[in-house]
Each structure stands twice: as structure tokens, then as C-alpha cells.
Amino acid sequence: MSQYRTVPLSPELRLGRLEDPAGDFPYYNGTPVLISAGQWLLVMAAAALGFVLLVAPIGWPGGSVGQLIPALLFPALPLVALAYVAPGHWRAIFGTVGLREVKLMIGFALLNIVVSMSVGAVVRSLTDLSSNAATAQLAAMDTSDRVLFYAKTIPQLLGEELITLLPFLALLHVFCARIGVGRKRAVIAAWLISSLIFGLLHLPTYNWNWVQCIFIIGSARLVLTLPFILTKNVWVSTGAHITNDWLLFSISLLGAGLAGQTA
């Protein structure tokens, strides 16, 4: 638990068991520092720039290793912006990681796989789905490139968490401080909207399949945001996201290998 969230959150304000009672979300209510709407726009702009640099067809120097540059910039830019608008308090979204946090990472990753497969089966019965090109690319890589691929996903998935959870906190500030919505409803609204945004950001990845991105990717994001809502710790949701993706990539890679042996 982060040092910034030491004031217990009263039961009537919490989303029941979905939130630990030990503390609240940072920033939206002035703890440990209030981030204004204009400052949040700066943080969102930095997050958007990081995303553009990640997906833009830029010829980064360094060959295969150069692919790490946009993956590192993706989380670094919004964190630098956050440190600028909340000097000395940018680490409020990060907490400690112990055995409980590791268990939560694994548990939410497995839950997300079950939810994603279930929602995917329903959507697949109604419409065609697009595959993730990264899976096919991984199967065609040699061992060194595969190691680099897995390494690159660590900062990239941290960036995906930040591009979801920072808007979540910004929306929480808008709903609570600007509009006057009650905390529970504000958390639910921010949770839904930030998950929708995350799904829409995947449109280029899945051939602009709106149904797939909104319902499958969006529902997966709802699950992956849960560990942050529970713990207020970005490391936990990031760990769940990494575990989820690594499991799916590894299963796909194993399946491709078995298919190649039987061909």
C-alpha cells in the first residue's frame, strides 16, 4: 500500500469488496495534491503523444533493439507529465508489491482470460473477428527476437495501464470535483469510460473491428482495471496485464509449434 493512502475509506463510499478499506484514489480530491483540469489535459496530451510514437511507423535506430525506444517512451512521457503537475507526488499511483499483490496479479490475469474467452465466444457467434498480428509475428521470430518481444511488452503494458488509469483518475476528478457526482457513481462512470477508450485505442490493431474492440477488448479492460480499483496500485494491474498477455502469447506460440510438428 502506498504511503499516500493512509486514511481509511469509509464503507459508505467504497464499492463494497471491490475496494480495499485502507485508502482512496489519489489526486481527484486534493490528496496528496489536487491536479486541476488544465493539468490533467497536459497529462492526457503526454499520454496521447506516447501512444502515437508507439504505433506510428517510425524507423527507430538500433534495429530490433531500437523497438524498445517507443515502448519506453510510452509510459515515460505521461509519468514525466504527472511528475510535472504533481511534483513530489507522482508515485502516489504506485504501491508496494508483496505476496498478496502477486497473487492478485495472477488471479486477475486468469479471471480476465476466462472473461475474454467467454465474451469472445459470444461475439464470434454473431460476427467475424480479427486476429492480433503480433501473435503471427511472434511465431515467425527466432529465439533472440522472441526474448526482445517479451521484454518490450513490459514497458509497453505499463504504458497501456497509464493510458487507461490516468484518464480514469482525470474523469474521477471531473465527475466528483467539477460535476458533483457521488464517489461511487463517479468511480463506476470513470471505470466504464476509460475501458471504452482503451478498447477504441485497439481499433488499428484489430482491423477497425468496432464490435470486437468495444465488447471483447473493453470487457477485458474492465477486468484489468479491477486490481487498481481494489488496491490503488498500478503495479498490480500492470502485473495482471503482463501475466495475461504473456500467457496468451505463450499458449499461441506453443500451439503454433505443435502445429508445425504435425504438419
pLDDT beyond 70 at 262: no
pLDDT beyond 60 at 54: yes
Of 70-74, 207-211, 222-226, 259-263, give the lowest mean pLDDT range: 259-263
Which residue ranges make up each domain of the chain? 22-262
Q: What per-residue confidence (pLDDT) applies to 1?
A: 47
pLDDT beyond 80 at 223: yes
- Average pLDDT in the 27-50 region? 93
240/71 Cα distance (integer angstroms): 18
- Average pLDDT in the 130-138 region? 80
- Average pLDDT in the 214-234 region? 96
pLDDT beyond 90 at 213: yes
